[in-house]
Amino acid sequence: MRTSFGVWVLSLILIPLLCIGCEFDESNITSAAQTNALEQVGTIKIQETDERFVGQFESAHVTLDPFRMYIADREIHRVAVVDRSGAIVRLIGEQGQGPGELQDPQRAVRAGDSIIVEDTNTQFSVFTADGEFKRRDRLPEGVWRGGMWSLTAADSGLYVAIQDVDLRAQGLKATPDQAVMAELDSQFDPVRTFGTYPNLYQESEYVWRYTTLDVNEGLAAVGYYLVPDVQIYDVTQPKPSLVETVELAHPVFTEPDEPLPMDMPRSELQEYAIDLSFVWQTFLLSDSTVVQVFNNRTEAFYENQAESERHHYAILGRIGSQEQKALKLPGRVFARDEMGRLYVELNPTPDNRKIGIYDVQWP
């Protein structure tokens, strides 16, 4: 029997926090508009109509030639496919639990001739490029998702963040032998599992165990919800090995100084979580640049969920170098394309959504 334990784990990630009086020193941070490190090279204004529109999403997948942006819409329970002009050229799926229906789509990626949608309950729905439903499958029993939008389609294969132990039985404290990601075959069975949680998670329990992942040119960049550093793994090896941990810092990135165990009362959890930063996306560019994206939230964000109350930042770093740059971003980073350009939200307002395309010109 397949289990839905992954839903329970990820629900802990999204427990509302109170960030009372959050104030951060931004004197050593460069905004995207004031630096040559990010050069805006284009804008996409999503053209929404009464029939074709977008609800809520946190991640996208971009392919080129032809340009397509695949948006997993968690509010409308479908995938919107957007072209370079911003037109929604296709809608895939609808709400439900039947064939071709989606419950809580987290991410959609183009892999060869298929569109794969990462859904709730460790499910994956596969569609043709034209949006025709092909099949649905799950991760095998005993394996759960370790991130909400970590599904990555690379030339070397399909990868996803995982949990390979029952946290209810073993607890949240990680052990060195716990894998954090998997390469999947065409049936979504892991053919390789690898990776090791950073020391923070091995020394104490933290209820927020969420992993971000990007794979590019034979390397996997892995980030963790509460840690600014990025792990680099060589996935060309039969047993992918840790190449390097790129140690990163940012003036407004705050790590926890107390354990946050599963059994901590919610009121105490909220108190300890004040002022924490949360890694949201991790990207690896072809020139060995890593991009660690995180956000800080105000108290008002948890009251009204307004995107203006969530502040977005990034750290640029390089494999094999200590050089790095702290940035403040205009909005969420949804994706990178194969040319290493980042897709950053400029306006989240429905009917006026704008996404900026940025070329990373650093160092």
- Residue 309: predicted pLDDT: 79
Q: Quick: pLDDT tens for 302-344.
A: 667 778 878 999 999 999 999 999 999 999 999 999 999 999 9
Contacts of 3 (CB under 8 A, 6+ apart): 122, 141, 142, 144
- Residue 17: predicted pLDDT: 36
Q: Quick: pLDDT tens for 81-114.
A: 999 999 999 999 999 999 999 999 999 999 999 9
The full DSSP string for 289-326 is: EEEEEEEEE-HHHHHH--GGGEEEEEEEEETT---EEE
Q: What average pLDDT does the segment 193-206 reach?
A: 96
Q: What average pLDDT does the segment 233-253 reach?
A: 97
Highest mean pLDDT among 14-23, 47-56, 148-157: 47-56
- Residue 11: predicted pLDDT: 41
Q: What average pLDDT does the segment 47-65 reach?
A: 96
Q: What is the average pLDDT value for the chain, to the nearest integer?
A: 90
Q: Quick: pLDDT tens for 122-173.
A: 999 999 999 999 999 999 999 999 997 899 999 889 999 999 988 888 889 9
Domains and CATH numbers, the chain: 5-360 (2.120.10.30)
